[in-house]
Amino acid sequence: MKKLALDLNDVTKTFQKDDGYITAVDKVSLQVEEGEMVTFLGPSGCGKTTTLRMVAGFELPTSGSITIRGSDMTNTPVNKRKIGFVFQNYALFPHMSVYNNVAYGLKARGEKDKDIRDKVRDALVMVGLVDTENRYPSQLSGGEQQRVALARVIVMEPNLLLMDEPLSNLDAKLRIHMRTEIRRLQKKLGITCLYVTHDQSEALSMADRIVVMNKGKVEQVGTAFEIYSNPQSLFVADFIGQANIIHLKVTSLAEDVIGVQTHNGGVFSARCIIPDHIDSSVESYEVGKDAALVIRPESLTVIPYKGGEETFNAVVSSSVFVGSHVEYELTLPNNEMIKAFIPYTNNMQIFKEEEQVSFMIDPVNALFLPRKKNKP
């Protein structure tokens, strides 16, 4: 059987903070295949950096285990793990040339001069910095410095490449350029990479799989498509892309289908997600209580007011034409606000503010998500 590049098993990290404790990482389990690119996405403070630092060995887990290529490394020191780490601040040696920065680890490892020369050249070609060998970090742009940091790490041929918000210090345009380059390089080298970011487009565009974290826990792991089209929790639906959440009264419950009362007395049914990994924290739905219906703004159809039972009703509170589509904000009878993005077509009808409208939801694109306990 093929060995996993990384196997995290119930990894937990508790820090002492003020008078108490804080669980920065809470039973994180994850299996990463060789050559996979996995991004960690979540709000600030959700435990991304701490997870990466434990994989690298800068922190030891409070409990749980870390296996790298089949060997238990939970308590192995950093320098025995063969891991490359690229940080947000490039951490280059300012008094050393680019060549010496990249060669540093190889020299420390006692490799032959000729091998070092070849490897450094190859690495610099790889990151597109052939002619900069003799320059110093201060003579390079931010993007170039980050490439040197990357070359310095890949030259060591690590088992795992860990990157913690490596592009945060670069301007928006360069960030987008660099993300494509890093991804291309990662694929070319076939290197396994864990990449932390709080930027969702970065996380979605670079990854084979994305780990969405919240408050130390893994909320969901999946491809960009899976996470966008099948969010397993309200947190993920809300955090990734834009999502409308409408609360409606449950009228019927089947195994994984919920029926709700629309504002006109009609009935609407859609799939209900039952996540397997957070059961105990989930409140089950009951007939007569509210359920949270999740729908993307681009999955609504806005039509002239109908008032029949097949539609939902709303009042337009804002209507903005942005070229490719019209962005509506609609106020529902219970004062909930939702967004609708309607793609531009010739002769499309554009509704105005304060107009009464109806809207339709395609059940295929709608989901009922479980509600966490102890939350309003």
Ligand X SMILES: Nc1ncnc2c1ncn2[C@@H]1O[C@H](COP(=O)(O)OP(=O)(O)O)[C@@H](O)[C@H]1O
- 371 and 282 Cβ atoms separated by less than 8 Å: yes
Question: Shortest Cβ distance from residue 344 to ligand X (Å)?
Answer: 38
Residue 275 interaction partner, one of Mg ion, ligand X, none, beta carbon < 5-8 Å per kind = none
Question: Shortest Cβ distance from residue 57 to Mg ion (Å)?
Answer: 17
Which one, 211 or 300, has the nearer CB to ligand X?
211
For 68-90, the DSSP string reads: ETTEE-TT--GGGS-EEEE-SS-
Residue 22 interaction partner, one of ligand X, Mg ion, none, beta carbon < 5-8 Å per kind = ligand X
Question: Shortest Cβ distance from residue 163 to ligand X (Å)?
Answer: 12
- Strands (E) across 290-355 are located at 290-295, 300-304, 312-321, 325-331, 337-343
Residue 46 interaction partner, one of ligand X, Mg ion, none, beta carbon < 5-8 Å per kind = ligand X
Say which residue the tokens 């499309």 belong to: 348
- Residue 326 tokens read as 């019209």
Which one, 15 or 344, has the nearer CB to ligand X?
15
Question: Shortest Cβ distance from residue 164 to ligand X (Å)?
Answer: 7
Say which residue the tokens 């937990």 belong to: 12
Q: Taking the mean position of all CA atoms in its chain, how far away is CA 126?
A: 27
> Which amino acid appears at position 325 of this protein?
H
Which one, 44 or 324, has the nearer CB to ligand X?
44
Residue 17 interaction partner, one of ligand X, Mg ion, none, beta carbon < 5-8 Å per kind = ligand X
Please state, in angstroms and rounded to a whole number, the distance separating the CA atoms of residues 38 and 157: 18
Question: Shortest Cβ distance from residue 148 to ligand X (Å)?
Answer: 24
Residue 50 interaction partner, one of Mg ion, ligand X, none, beta carbon < 5-8 Å per kind = ligand X
For residue 4, the 8-state DSSP code is P
Q: Could you list the residues that contact ligand X (CB under 6 A)?
A: 15, 17, 22, 24, 42, 44-50
